[in-house]
Structure 1
């Protein structure tokens, strides 16, 4: 393949990775809306759409392998392909976490913790992913550090939310005549909420991973890779 054609293929890969990120973020937003509105229809939309994301991941994985085998990539191209492969892996996992939100929606009986703004945490991690992908698109090293620096804020928000839930559980007085079903329902709601917070925190971690791979792609700097 001529060098010009190879560069065009690299450009197509980048566009496809960006498209995958848009699709994944759309599913994540839908999952958050389903959870907030207790909307089973939206929940199923996210769950049933996971197959599309998985197939896109496999297609892009194949594209990365083909680009590596077509000709001997120079160092910069090699880092780009490797970073793109790692990034689609993170995006696929974010898609799985969005699917979890859909499943939590179907399991939820009621909103026991209205004082915790799950949507705000979700919005914050979505912005992190958007900025990480923007850095990948623009090859912006400085922006990767900005994304990574926000991870501590997300961790703090998630820790506060989890503390509220645990404190509420400790302070909840279970009536002596409460049956096993009532106690199990309470524990299921607590578990679901804590899993929701954990999953959103993981989305933030994946955003940092994307930023780290982008930084390595642009400057061969592994500072943000862990």
Structure 2
């Protein structure tokens, strides 16, 4: 492979990572919309369409391995390939979380906890993911650090939502003799707490992407 061909391979990898990010973000957007509107058709589409993300991930993983094995990149090229490899893993996991959210939508009774604002949490997590990928595309170290700073805001929103869910559970009156009603309520509470947890994890993966991008740009993954 000539030097020009090698540089084109690196450029193609960057484009492919960004394309996978767009695919995953689209899945996440659809899952969040389904969650907010209780759109079961959209939720089913997301829940059953994970194979495309997995295939894309495995193909690009193989590309990274080939670049490591055949070209033995050094210095900045090595950091770029290594960071891209790790970012692909985070994107694949965000895709898995989108599937989780879709499945929760199909199972949970959102009408029971309408006062819990999941949309604000989802919007912030989604924005963090978008900005993390923008930082990757533009080599923006400052934006990497901004993504990490917003993780505290996301954690706060998630903590408040979880506390609200538990408090409402404690205050809610349920006939102890109605075993089915009690179990149904507990299932809904558990699923809602899992939704909050998975939205928080989307933000965690966005921070991971920011850290890996910062390593690529500055050879140091320290965000703070």
State the 1:47 CA deviation.
1.1
Does 1:77 pair with 2:81?
no
Aligned residue number for residue 24 of structure 1: 24
Which whole-Å CA distance do the structure 2 matches of 1:110 and 1:180 have between them? 20
Which whole-Å CA distance do the structure 2 matches of 1:110 and 1:29 have between them? 18
Matches within 5 A, 1:62-73: 62-73=62-73
Aligned residue number for residue 197 of structure 1: 196
State the 1:112 CA deviation.
1.6
Matches within 5 A, 1:116-155: 116-155=116-155
TM-score (ref. length: structure 2): 0.97
Deviation digits for residues 67-118 of structure 1 (CA, Å, limit 9, x no counterpart):
1122221211010000001000000000000000111011123422212211
Which whole-Å CA distance do the structure 1 matches of 2:83 and 2:110 have between them? 41
Deviation digits for residues 29-84 of structure 1 (CA, Å, limit 9, x no counterpart):
11111111212110111011111001100000001011112222121101000000
Which whole-Å CA distance do the structure 2 matches of 1:8 and 1:29 have between them? 31
Checking the alignment, whether the CA contact within 8 Å between 1:209 and 1:224 is kept in structure 2 is no
Which whole-Å CA distance do the structure 1 matches of 2:190 and 2:99 have between them? 17
Aligned residue number for residue 94 of structure 2: 94
- Unaligned regions of 5+ residues in structure 2, if any? none
TM-score (ref. length: structure 1): 0.96
Aligned residue number for residue 212 of structure 1: 211
Which whole-Å CA distance do the structure 1 matches of 2:3 and 2:65 have between them? 17
Aligned residue number for residue 187 of structure 1: 186
State the 1:119 CA deviation.
1.2
- Unaligned regions of 5+ residues in structure 1, if any? none
What is the aligned residue count? 224
Which whole-Å CA distance do the structure 2 matches of 1:170 and 1:185 have between them? 15
Aligned residue number for residue 4 of structure 1: 4
Aligned residue number for residue 39 of structure 1: 39
Deviation digits for residues 135-166 of structure 1 (CA, Å, limit 9, x no counterpart):
00001111100100000000000001001000
